[in-house]
Structures are given as structure tokens and as C-alpha cells.
Structure 1
Amino acid sequence: MAEVHTKLNGPDLVEGIALADLPDGGKLLGHCGDEQVLLVRCGDAIFAIGATCTHYGGPLVDGLVVEDTIRCPWHHACFDLRTGEALHAPAFSPLACWGVEQRDGRIVVKEKRKRAVPKRRDGRSREVPARIVIVGGGAAGFAAVETLRREHYQGSIVMLSNDDAPPVDRPNLSKDYLAGKAPEDWILLRGESFYAKNDIDLRLNANVASIDMGSSEVVLAGGVRIPYDRLLLATGAEPVRLTIPGADQPHVYTLRSFADCKAIIERAVTARRAVVLGASFIGLEVAAALRTRNIEVHVVAPDKRPMERVLGPQMGDFIRTLHEENGVVFHLENTVSSIDGTKMKLSSNDILTADFVVAGVGVRPRTELAEKAGLRVDNGVVVNAFLETSARGIFAAGDIARWPDPHSGENIRVEHWVVAERQGRTAALNMLGHREEFIAVPFFWSQHYDVPINYVGHAAQWDEIAVDGDLIAKDCLLRFKRAGRTLAVASIFRDLESLEAEAEIEQQMAS
């Protein structure tokens, strides 16, 4: 078989480039051997790092440099230019780094540096706990255990998940994996060996019945008690279940877990038509994925426009048109009143037929454990800026956490994957005794066919939407404002401007 050569872009950085070719603040893509390398100049300092984000491979040359960090244009991961360390989710793995030398007015890249073990950070204000228990096997729970071991925590970690699979990359379940464009080995956030190697006691299919705060123990459904010194509640959210007649039939699905996704894919192999209930992000990502599989898709939703509540009328109209151009049929301002086999009766009295149904009618936070334990609950588990609940030593992160957002000035709860991961990291640091406030700007992305939508900030209400660009041309940025202040920004193919908007919102708080 002939050897396959991958085309490398940019100059050979081992041979070097002229210093003048890399101005202050500049980025330059080149290669060392058979690896793409990105040069970044910050004043007199020059860094050489891996050219692609370790999350989904986003091109960092198109990213944003902020002080001595670089942010990915696709999903806003952030890396330390000096060490390559992943600082902000959704990336967890570090970038490779190379040595750099300046001589005779030229920049020459030297050998790849050995991956440095992250240093233990200073500033712990309390005694380090001996036993940490994490309830939940989603984004926040995974980020917490990963952070604990990265921070050299040597104590006991027990992770209790009621799922039957280790933590997975849930956004992919409604995007590329469901569409058949991503292999299964992409889905696990880390292979099962990661937990054993890092001495993490991951217990799957573990149902937690209660928290005994008097004895500092978590009680499983079978009566087993697990002691803790610090506890993280990361129970996430669960899909709202349909209560209409026929909703309990086997061809009616929700999508939350890896098993849910596999079941839908199995049904889709022989199906010709599907009905999606709900015009939410999940519902319409499912619709797009099923259309990629050449399944006829009907979407039934009570909304006047898809996603209008979050993204406004302009983006709602654009999304509807995009899906209709790809063959989706909408039945808006409508609901399904009953399901009888393959037939569905709508509130308009119309009848739809389908081989299967996917219900994406929303989720609700799983706060029952917190409520039973007597923790403060108000549209989520109430936490302070350090993600600590009303009980000392018990933290909450992810979809259940309602925290004081310094950017909007409100107590908010959001159901975003990246927010959950970043909160898991912050909660882990604070369980170790650091006092790190959670100040990250909320971010999420949604994918519809070949169109990505990035959203930074949080705007529950706004009085103005300023549109820059052209939605129809899929080149736009929308600013959601209240009293003249930008609270959130949504964009399509404006990746750098999305990153800049994120930095602007951060700066608003700092100023």
C-alpha cells in the first residue's frame, strides 16, 4: 500500500522565520516535522503550541489571544500559552508545546517539550478533605473528578452515577453521533481505564436515596452508606415526560443518555418517518440529525417560532427556514394530544403518522435529593459564588445549580454543557479549600446541518436585538441588550467576534 502523506501548511518552523513576520499579537501557522504548530507572539514572548484544539480540533490560528492564553473559535476552550494546559472546558487535554529560540532576527522552533505535570496550586484555606463523593455522572461530575486528580488530590473519590455508561460527550448525542457522522469512540469523555488509573471509584447504575447530613453520609437505594467530607451534587436534569395517552409506547423516545441515543439510531435504521415533539435546541438538532439519515421529519411544537424565547424572532424565523429548506415540516402552535400506534392526533385535530416519536419538550432539574436533605432550593439548588449550598461542605454544579451571575447581576440557572463542565472544575477547587468564585460567562453552541450557532452571555429578557450582518447569508451577530447594555451575543460564522464578545462581557464585570 502506498504511503499516505498529509499536506502540511505554513513554513518549516525548524528552519525558522524572520522575527518581522510575526508582529506583536500575531499568530502564524507552520509545522515541525509532521506536526502542525502555531506560533503566537505576546510582546517579547513567543510561544509554539499545537495548532488544533484538543476538544474537537478547532483551528487555533482563528482563535483569540487574551493575555497569555488562547481561546478556540469553535467552542471557546481556553489554553495556557506557556504550558499548553487546558484552562477552560470543553477541552480537558493539554496542547503540545515546543521550545522557541530567537537568534539573528529569526524565530526558530526547537524540540517538543515533555508534557509537564500541572503544579499544585497554592491558596488552600482549609484542611484538605480525605473523602469526596460526587453524585452525578454528567458534565459537572466528570469535570470535578478530572480536576481533583489534576490538582494532585490524593484522597478518596467516589462517583455515583445512575447511568449505565461512564460520562459521555452528551452534546454529540443530538448532533454528529445521532446523524451517523461520528464514531462511537468519540462519545466517552474518557475511556473506562481513566477511572481505574486515577483511583476514581466510579459506580454505575447507582441510585442515591438520600443524604444524611448528620452523619455526613450518602445513602444508596439498597441501604449502603458512603461517608464524605465534601459532597458535590451534580445530578443534572431529566427530560420532561409526556403524560398524554400512548406516551408510554416503546416507539416514543426521549434523548438524554447514550442508551437513549443508541435506541433511536436502531429504530432509525428501518424507519421512514419520525415526529419530533418540541422546537427546542435538542428537538431541532434531532430533526437535523434524522434528516441527515434521510428520514422524513415532522416537528410539532406550541411555539409560534422555533427558539424564539432564547434567540428572538429574527433567529427563530431563520432557523425555521433553514430546517424547511432541508425538508422538515413544522406544525407550530400545536401539540400532540394522543398517540395510538403510528398515529398521532394533534390539538388542531390533524392526524400525523410516524414510525417513531422523539419528545424534546424540555427538562427539569433533579433537585429531589437536595430538597429531602433540607438544602435551599429555589428554581434549582441555591449556591453562593463558590458553588457551595446552604449546607457547609456540600456543593452543587451543573443543571441544578442556581448561582449569582456577576455579569447579569441576577441569580440564574442554565442548562448548558460547557457551563456544567466549568462549574464542576470550580466546585472541585473549592472542595479542596480554594476560594475561587465562579465568574465564567455562560456559553453554548447548537448545530443545525452545516450551520453552527454560538451563544455567549445570558439574557433572560431584553429590550433590543441589534443585528450585525445578514442572517439569510449565514453571516451575522446578534446582540441582546437591556437598557443599552449587551447581556448576550448569538452568532453564525462569526467565531472570532463571538470570542471577542465573550471577552467584552468579562471586561464589563472587571471595569
Structure 2
Amino acid sequence: MTKSSSSTDKPDLTQGVPLADLADGGMVTGQVGGKPVLLVRRADELFAIGATCTHYGGPLADGLLVGDTIRCPWHHACFSLRTGEVLGPPAQDDLKCWRVEQQDGKAFVRDALPAVRPPRLASARLPESVVIIGGGAAGTAAVETLRREGYSGPVTLLSADRSLPYDRPNLSKDYLAGTANADWLPMRPPTFYADHDIDVRSDNRVVKLSPEQKSVTLSDGSNVSYGALLLAVGAVPIRLDVPGATLPHVSVLRTLADCDALIARLGTARRCVVVGASFIGMEVAAALRTRGLEVHVVAPEAHPMERVLGATLGDMIKALHESHGVTFHLGATVAEIQPDRVRLSTGAELAADLVVTGIGVRPDVALAQDAGLALDKGVAVDEFLQTSEPDIYAAGDIARWPDPGTGQRIRVEHWVVAERQGVVAARNILGQRQRFAAVPFFWTQHYDVAINYVGHAEQWDRFDVDGDPAAHDCTVTYWGKDKRLAVATVGRDLASLRAEVAFEQETTGH
């Protein structure tokens, strides 16, 4: 889903909107000085905020009002109506706000309001310094939250990636498809980190974590001490283990460097075999078809993405890709890769000058294990994302936490979950003791069709389908022992937001 552009062909809200046209919960999209503005009424209060989400520019008028907040219909970012403050990822920046006056039965949008300022923190309970290991979603959200919350101590972000933090979900979607500009990918410009006194050290791998000394050792032998630490190293791709898997035309897609190397091969590649019908595999297939390559997908399952979404949506995804020219070889695995072809377990051979594998990832727990942290199919954390070492927190793909929604310990490999955990971990590093209770959410996009998913259902005993998957208009609800576990939607953004709120209410009781 590409970023949208603003429009100035909307009514000028400085000229007034009749209050009679704005019922409780009503929204009017207009503009002020050429900037898109959303006028919202909640009971007797009026709010004017930026009309587009600061993540990808989603139209907030199509979103959901919850109390004095508004949620983006595309990727569920949440903002305060009162201050414009971003309250929930994936958005990073606040919305602009304007003052609203009522006069002669109309609402007039006036001057812009000042931006929210970070609070002053009491220094007695703060760590002397904070180190974050990992420059992905959780790590980036954490460093920004530390500064947003008013922490002024030293903050160091150590990332093994060669690039500054970037928007990883875009790699397998628009960027690989060639429909997103490279300058969309960085999460922030380099000046942002300097302006906020954040010491970002890219291409720096941590090789040892020493809780006793409260320090980490880098691959160059240097040491960095910390008062508190966040472990957010993410996951590593599972590699194919068959003859020919290390040939130069065999790729994985995890990092920007991986994606750029893959794009560089597209100038001469004509036929690609995608190994794995997971989210990454299917998004890669869509992106490469958009670029005109012949694409074959090989996977052992009977339906693409079946393990998470089930057979019904799997069939929808398969039909969608087939309508765009993708050929599936399901119920098969790769037996051997040769320079110009791939041999399957069925004996079939597929001509290929490019192979992309997307067969899953595993949490990178090596540092945690060597440091003696408690493990549990990942790094074990409590409801505050604290590890077995009090001054060490974990977030993102490696963290396994007690989920109040399911009543089980879970680990989730999704970008927005990692961002939300990074926010909560940073706040808890600052002593706030905030429980992580966010409902898991992810989205996946194939061509112009997006699927949103809220909740968590590792297993289910039935699912209900409302609507028509073939028309890309449906809601699928997953149940386990008569408990609603998760909801997937296609073409129903508001239904996805409402399901998220319902899960939150079930968890919190209000």
C-alpha cells in the first residue's frame, strides 16, 4: 500500500461548518491553508486534526473513533483527538491540531495549536544510560519513545544492519515491486538521530552481553556499558538445506541489503521460483509478477498461508495470484537447485534463473542464551517485557510474553507488534510499569488486495466466514473452544478496527 498524497479540493474549514451537519461522532474532511484537516465532533466537543495518518497517509475519516482517539483504517495507528499525539504505532509522528470555535451555529477552524512537549522526568528513578540492541521495529520505537517521554540520558542504538532503521514491511511489497521510492524506506533521516542525541551505530554486531558487568561487547572488541538494556535483535531467516541452496542466484529477503541485491538481479532474471507460500513468499511472488517475471511458487501445504489464515482465505490468495499469472506447485518441496532449474520432490523440474526462499524465521536468541537469560521458545519476559535480568528487557520477534487475550505465553513475528512492544519496553525502562496488553495486529498486501488480521490463533477448531472471499470482501473469525481468537478481514477496514477494540475490551473489561 503506497503512501497517499494530500488533496486541497476540500471545503475551507475556516469558513465554518454548520453544527447541524455534524452529529456526535461525525467527521468532515476539509482543508486549512491547503493542508488536509479533519473536523470531528464528540458530544459537545469539537476537534480539528490532520486528516491523514502520519504512517502511510491513510484517510482518518474512514477510521474509527474510540473515546477521544481516532484509529487509522489501514494499519491501526492511533492518535489523540485532543493533542494529535500518536498513541499507537505504526505511526511515528503526531498529527497537527487546530483550535476550533463555535459561533452562530457553526464550527470554525482557527489557528494551529502548539505541538505536545515531552514531560519532565524525575532523575532519581531513571537509568544512567540506555542501550538498545537491534535497529528494527522494536529498537527504533524504543529509542524514539525514550526521547518522547522526556529521557535525556545517553541512548545508544546498536544495529548489525548496514543501513539506518528502515521500513522493513515495504521490502517485500512496494519497494520490491518497484512502486515505492527508495527515499520512503528510512524511518528517519540521519539528522533526526543527531538532533535527538541518539547514538546510532550501524553495522555493529554485538557478540557478548554481560549482565554482571552491565556491558556489551562489539565485534570490533570495544565495550559499551548500560544502565538499562533492550534486547530487540529480531529473527533470522531459516535457510533451505538442499543441494544447490548456496548458489549465488538463491536469495532470502530479510534486510534492505537482501532486497537491493535481489532487485539488482532482476535486470537479467526472467523466471523465478519462490520457495514457501508464507507471507514473505506470497508478497515476493506478487512483487515479482508486478515486475513481469514468470513466477512459480513451491510449498508443501495444500493452500498458501494456510497455517495462519486457513483454507478459505488460502484459496482466495491462490486464485488472486493465479489471476496475475503465478503458477503453484503445492504439496511439493524442493529437492535440488541447479544453476538454471529447480527439481522438486515430485520429480518435476522448473526452469529458474532466480530462487527466493521464504520458509520462515527463528528468533535470534544466541546473545540471550550466552548471557544466561531465561528462554522459552524465545526470550522469556513478564507482562512488563522484563527478562530474568531486572535491567534487561526484550521486545519484538524474540520476546515471548504472557498474552492476556489468550491466557497463554506467545511470541509474534509482526512489525506493528514489535513497535508496540518497543514503546512499552521504553516506558518501563523509565519506571512506568506498563503492562503489555496490545492486541496483535498485522497486515499483508498482494497486488491491490490487503488482508488485516487482529488477535492470535495458533490453533483453532473452526472459523466462520461472512461475505465473499472471491470478491475480496469478507470477515473470517477464528474460534477455539467457543472463544473468539482472531479476525481476518479483506476489504473491511472498519470491521478490523472494531474487532481490535472488541478484543481490547475483552482483555481489559472496559
Q: How far is 1:118 from its partner?
A: 3.5
Q: Which residue of structure 2 lines up, in the alignment, with residue 382 of structure 1? A: 380
Q: Which residue of structure 2 lines up, in the alignment, with residue 452 of structure 1? A: 450
**2:471 counterpart SS class:** coil
More deviation, 445-454/240-249: 240-249
**2:125 counterpart SS class:** coil
Contact 1:125-1:434 at 8 Å conserved across structures: no
Which amino acid in 2 is paired with 1:216?
Answer: K
**1:445 counterpart SS class:** strand
Q: Which residue of structure 2 lines up, in the alignment, with residue 431 of structure 1? A: 429
Contact 2:7-2:36 at 8 Å conserved across structures: no
Q: How far is 1:220 from its partner?
A: 1.5
Q: Which residue of structure 2 lines up, in the alignment, with residue 153 of structure 1? A: 151
Q: Which residue of structure 2 lines up, in the alignment, with residue 327 of structure 1? A: 325
User: Counterparts of 1:274 and 1:206 in 2: how far apart (Å)?
Assistant: 33
The partner residue of 2:489 within 491, 498, 511 is 491
TM-score normalised to the size of structure 2? 0.97
Counterparts of 1:75-474 in structure 2, within 5 Å, are 75-120=75-120, 127-474=125-472
User: Counterparts of 1:197 and 1:504 in 2: how far apart (Å)?
Assistant: 40
Q: Deviations over 1:265-315 (max 9, x none)?
A: 111122111110000000000000000000000001111111111001100
Contact 1:385-1:403 at 8 Å conserved across structures: yes
User: Counterparts of 1:96 and 1:103 in 2: how far apart (Å)?
Assistant: 23
User: Counterparts of 1:303 and 1:464 in 2: how far apart (Å)?
Assistant: 19
Contact 2:6-2:35 at 8 Å conserved across structures: no
Q: How far is 1:6 from its partner?
A: 8.0
Identity, in percent, stands at 58
The alpha-carbon distance between structure 1 residues 440 and 6, as it changes in their structure 2 partners (threshold 3 A), is closer
User: Counterparts of 2:481 and 2:21 in 1: how far apart (Å)?
Assistant: 44
Q: Deviations over 1:102-126 (max 9, x none)?
A: 11211111012232324347xx797
Q: How far is 1:219 from its partner?
A: 1.4
User: Counterparts of 1:126 and 1:170 in 2: how far apart (Å)?
Assistant: 37
Contact 1:125-1:433 at 8 Å conserved across structures: no
**1:174 counterpart SS class:** helix
Which amino acid in 2 is paired with 1:184?
Answer: A
Which amino acid in 2 is paired with 1:51?
Answer: A
The alpha-carbon distance between structure 1 residues 384 and 112, as it changes in their structure 2 partners (threshold 3 A), is same
Contact 1:382-1:403 at 8 Å conserved across structures: yes
User: Counterparts of 2:406 and 2:117 in 1: how far apart (Å)?
Assistant: 36
Q: Which residue of structure 2 lines up, in the alignment, with residue 66 of structure 1? A: 66
Q: How far is 1:168 from its partner?
A: 0.8
User: Counterparts of 1:144 and 1:6 in 2: how far apart (Å)?
Assistant: 29
Q: Which residue of structure 2 lines up, in the alignment, with residue 44 of structure 1? A: 44
User: Counterparts of 1:275 and 1:30 in 2: how far apart (Å)?
Assistant: 48
Residue 13 of structure 2 corresponds to residue 13 of structure 1: yes
Contact 1:65-1:71 at 8 Å conserved across structures: yes
Gaps of 5+ in 1: none
Contact 1:126-1:433 at 8 Å conserved across structures: no
Q: How far is 1:9 from its partner?
A: 4.3
The alpha-carbon distance between structure 1 residues 445 and 7, as it changes in their structure 2 partners (threshold 3 A), is closer
TM-score normalised to the size of structure 1? 0.97
Which amino acid in 1 is paired with 2:398?
Answer: I
User: Counterparts of 1:270 and 1:82 in 2: how far apart (Å)?
Assistant: 53
Q: How far is 1:28 from its partner?
A: 1.2
User: Counterparts of 2:507 and 2:426 in 1: how far apart (Å)?
Assistant: 24
Contact 2:85-2:116 at 8 Å conserved across structures: no
Q: How far is 1:180 from its partner?
A: 0.4
**1:472 counterpart SS class:** helix
Q: Which residue of structure 2 lines up, in the alignment, with residue 506 of structure 1? A: 504
Q: Deviations over 1:52-107 (max 9, x none)?
A: 00000000000000011000000000001111111100001111111100112111
Which amino acid in 2 is paired with 1:430?
Answer: N
Q: How far is 1:262 from its partner?
A: 0.6
User: Counterparts of 2:239 and 2:67 in 1: how far apart (Å)?
Assistant: 46
User: Counterparts of 1:315 and 1:125 in 2: how far apart (Å)?
Assistant: 52
Q: How far is 1:44 from its partner?
A: 1.2
Which amino acid in 2 is paired with 1:165?
Answer: S
User: Counterparts of 1:24 and 1:90 in 2: how far apart (Å)?
Assistant: 28
**1:364 counterpart SS class:** strand
User: Counterparts of 2:192 and 2:8 in 1: how far apart (Å)?
Assistant: 32
**1:175 counterpart SS class:** helix
Q: How many corresponding residue pairs?
A: 505
User: Counterparts of 1:347 and 1:391 in 2: how far apart (Å)?
Assistant: 46
Which amino acid in 2 is paired with 1:95?
Answer: L
Contact 1:388-1:394 at 8 Å conserved across structures: yes
Which amino acid in 2 is paired with 1:38?
Answer: L
Which amino acid in 2 is paired with 1:105?
Answer: G
User: Counterparts of 2:164 and 2:482 in 1: how far apart (Å)?
Assistant: 45
The alpha-carbon distance between structure 1 residues 360 and 6, as it changes in their structure 2 partners (threshold 3 A), is closer
The alpha-carbon distance between structure 1 residues 22 and 506, as it changes in their structure 2 partners (threshold 3 A), is same
Q: How far is 1:135 from its partner?
A: 0.6
Q: Deviations over 1:311-343 (max 9, x none)?
A: 011001111111111100011111111111112
Q: Deviations over 1:420-465 (max 9, x none)?
A: 0010010000011111000110000000011000000101111221
Contact 1:126-1:432 at 8 Å conserved across structures: no
Q: Which residue of structure 2 lines up, in the alignment, with residue 35 of structure 1? A: 35
User: Counterparts of 2:6 and 2:251 in 1: how far apart (Å)?
Assistant: 42
